[in-house]
Amino acid sequence: MAMPEQNGKLYVVATPIGNLSDISQRALDLLQSVDLIAAEDTRHIRQLMQRHGITNKLTSLHQHNEAEASKVLIKKMQQGLSIALVSDAGTPLISDPGLPLIKLAHEAGMMVSPVPGACALIAALSASGLPASRFMFEGFLPRTSSTRKSFFHDKLDCPYTWIVYESSHRIQATIHDMTEIFPGQRPIVIARELTKMYETIINTTISQATELFEQDKNMLRGEFVIIVAGAKAEDKNKDISIEHEKLLRTLLKECSIKSAVAIAVELTGLKKRTLYQAALKLADSP
């Protein structure tokens, strides 16, 4: 009597984020031994394969085809084939495609095994000097200024270190938006080109960050990880953003402190006590 055919296995394989030597021997062995490699961009993985002398079959799995491609790959695994899932760089699914495939694999009762390695957010955090015992990762920031500012408003009082990715095309605009929302002294780390020749990790403050891009145009190149320190407990009810301060100053020119604060509460959603304390300081200042 014939035995039922065994399902293949799905390996989630982390690849280098820059330096092609940053990959484990286990990952290299698997990329050589599996039946198929599903890659976000086959051109990227070919560079790694050529560097390490790996020859294997490739197929594309990216955000535009992953719904249908994942179904095809599941059928292959049901026929006994083992597949390695890789992204362009780093750990799959961390702001990269692959979730539909992994969900379908679990639903089909298949084994899904992680092969850990490089991850840009972890690499940046480990070298940042900011608290890492508890942190939040928010992926790529919104593309428009208004939605970014709304996101930053939500993060204003976050007590934990938080991390985002940003592209070279928007990094300068993003830092400008941050200066309008956060207190200038808030610590921030800007990491670019991690593990590559021009790796840069700068520990600074939000108010000083803008100068970095104005003074050095090379800072506008590469892929970025932005790490922002959480709000200190003693600062949460004291600091308001530059944007909110401008709003209060404008209202105070036309209204009493009480009225200005009431309007500001409605417009910003901040606590009345926070805005009232800020309005008192502004009213006393020249």
Question: What confidence score (pLDDT) does residue 153 get?
Answer: 85
- Has residue 4 got a pLDDT over 60? no
Under the banding of pLDDT at 50, 70 and 90, the label for residue 233 is low
Give a yes or no: residue 3 inside a domain: no
Q: Chain-wide mean pLDDT for the chain?
A: 91
Give a yes or no: residue 249 inside a domain: yes
Under the banding of pLDDT at 50, 70 and 90, the label for residue 5 is low
Query: The domain that contains 163 carries what CATH number?
Result: 3.30.950.10
Q: Are residues 88 and 156 in the same domain?
A: no
**Percentage of the chain exceeding pLDDT 90:** 70
Q: Are residues 108 and 182 in the same domain?
A: no
Under the banding of pLDDT at 50, 70 and 90, the label for residue 232 is confident
**pLDDT by residue (tens digit) across 21-54?**
999 999 999 999 999 999 999 998 999 999 999 9
Q: Are residues 44 and 81 in the same domain?
A: yes
Q: Is the pLDDT higher at 274 or at 193?
A: 193
CA distance from start to end of the chain: 92
Give a yes or no: residue 4 inside a domain: no
Range of the domain at 178: 121-233
pTM, whole model, 2 decimals?
0.80
- Has residue 188 got a pLDDT over 80? yes
